[in-house]
Amino acid sequence: MPAEGLALFFYSPAFEVIPNQFNERYDVVARYSAQDILQSGWLIGGEALAGKAAMISAKTGEGRIVLIGFRTQHRAQTHGTFKLLFNALIR
């Protein structure tokens, strides 16, 4: 996976890990850019999305929960994000 990629955001959640005593359980896998987040189309409320986590992996018990806030499989197999879906499944 390259260091930067494009993801479709359409009425999807964005995450923020608030500092607490369990922060070591959370890993931010992908984050929305803090600036220039629009690559094509249109954007309303981009300031609320900028810099937020787009994908988080959280330890729970002996397993993990992966929260994905964008469509990794948008329009079937997207080259930019499909790999993140498979990595979440096999991890």
Residue 14 lies inside a defined structural domain of this protein: no
Residue 33 sits in which domain range? 23-90
Question: Per-residue pLDDT tens for 58-73?
Answer: 999 999 999 988 888 7
Distance of CA 17 to CAs 36, 43, 55, 76, 78, Å? 22, 24, 11, 30, 27
- Cα 36 to chain centroid, rounded: 17
Residue 57 lies inside a defined structural domain of this protein: yes
Count structural domains, the chain.
1
User: Could you tell me which residues are beta bridge partners of residue 28?
Assistant: 56
Residue 63 lies inside a defined structural domain of this protein: yes
CB–CB of 48/58 below 8 Å? no
Question: Per-residue pLDDT tens for 27-43?
Answer: 999 898 888 888 878 88
Report the C-alpha gap between 2 and 22 in whole angstroms.
29
Residue 18 lies inside a defined structural domain of this protein: no
Asked if residue 47 has pLDDT above 80, the reply is yes
Residue 5 lies inside a defined structural domain of this protein: no
Q: What is the pLDDT, as a whole number, of residue 7? A: 77
Residue 2 lies inside a defined structural domain of this protein: no
Q: What is the pTM of this model?
A: 0.78
Residue 1 lies inside a defined structural domain of this protein: no
